[in-house]
Amino acid sequence: MTNIAFGAKSAPLPRAFYLLTAARLAATFGMFLNMMVVNIFVLDITGSAAWVAALMGIRVISGMLFSPYIGALADRIDRKRMMVLSDLILSAFIFLTIFVPVGVVKYYFLFAMLLIGVLSSVVDIALNAAVPAILDSKNTIKANSILMGGKNIIVALAAMLSIFVKELFANYDMVFIINALAYGAAGLIILSLKIKTEEAKTLTEAKEPTKKKRGFFLAFKEDYGDVFALPDFKVIAIMIFILTLDGLASGSHNIGWPVFSMAANPDNPFKIYGAIMAFWALGNIIGIFWLTKSALARKLRPENLYLACTAIMSLGMILTVQTNIFLITIFAACLAGFGDGAYQTFFNTYLQTAPDNLRGKLFGLSSTCLRTGFGASFFIMPILLTMMSVPTLLIVSHGPVIVISLLFLILHKR
């Protein structure tokens, strides 16, 4: 795998990439607005943080279970088709939400989150694996910065809009309609693009014989054998290990932020929750800009850059709920977003330097590990929340991420 050219001057990105980015941003806007509204809506009708956790957990676990298969598929079939079909199916299914009676809607959400988890994983893995092919392996750091930066601008807009959701919409149905239209628009835009989403196969790959039907573990071992044999897989393994710990900790703030916001402002929790998400997204943008322009980022070893940014992210997460002083909360959210944006953009770009026939598997493997942590978190955190306050919960969950990241940094200096 090659080094990443931080800050290097490069040719403009193709128009098709910007249209693809616009499609993903449309879907992201609808998805995040929906996620925030569903969290508060379900908390409002059930009064149970466990229900919020269950919905998030099912979404994460479904993606976790299917990611290895999705990663292998993304290296074998048309990645563009995978993205288009996923977006259009999600559009239709989310639109049906408006016809579900309120009395059973929380059960419908359980199935909806399962579908969203699987198909969102399809889109994420296929897109990340396709970026180098779309760009002929040029400007990937710039492309990922635009994708991540744009995504977080959209998240900030969705978060700010959610602050006024009660004033803007007579009911929640309009939010679901917006989400469905956003996914539909994304799928149609990608369908219209003439883009190459995989690189030309080598003669050896083109003549690879069809494999016989295999069991799960044998198939996994054979499909991912080349991934484990990569020269820098130890570096990747460190990153994925920390990513899993981050996923395990993430349920604390995904559950804790709505609960914290509801306690701070029972009449309109969106004002606190939306502000936290908006400043988290702003921090993401700052972190991505720093990553692409910083001389320090160029000097650090890949794993050390990743570890430092992850530790900063977890520190910010802890600080978001330690006080009701609004300025401290939004500063902490911004700090958390800084670390999050920098490490995620770097991680995606680093994996994209792998050969094309391994990228889908790499993103499938990392998605599986991340979602394993997420999934476990959404079962563990509600139990812990019955034993401790939200501020303590975030210290208990994100504190180990900081400590282990710093230990790895210290050990790598020796």
Q: How far apart are the first and last CA of the chain?
A: 24
**Across the chain, what does the average pLDDT equal?**
82
pLDDT digits (tens, 9 = 90+) for 129-166: 888 888 876 678 788 888 887 887 787 777 677 667 66
The interaxial angle of helices 270-293 and 140-163, nearest 10 deg, is: 160
Convert the pLDDT of each residue in 96-109 to its tens digit: 888 888 778 888 88
Contacts of 291 (CB under 8 A, 6+ apart): 6, 141, 145, 297, 341, 342, 345, 346
Per residue in 54-83, pLDDT tens?
887 788 778 778 888 888 888 888 899 999
Could you tell me which residue, 212 or 69, shows the higher pLDDT? 69
Closest CA to 366 of 216, 244, 268, 229: 244
Q: Could you give the C-alpha distances from 364 to 191, 245, 367, in angstroms and in order? A: 23, 17, 5
The token pair that represents 285 in the structure block: 């943008």
Say whether pTM exceeds 0.75. no
pLDDT of residue 300: 77
CATH fold for domain 15-198+216-413:
Growth Hormone; Chain: A; (1.20.1250)
Greatest extent of the chain over all pairs of C-alpha atoms, in Å? 64
Cβ atoms of residues 338 and 283 within 8 Å: yes
Q: In the predicted model, is pLDDT for residue 219 greater than 60?
A: no
Percent of the chain with pLDDT over 90: 20
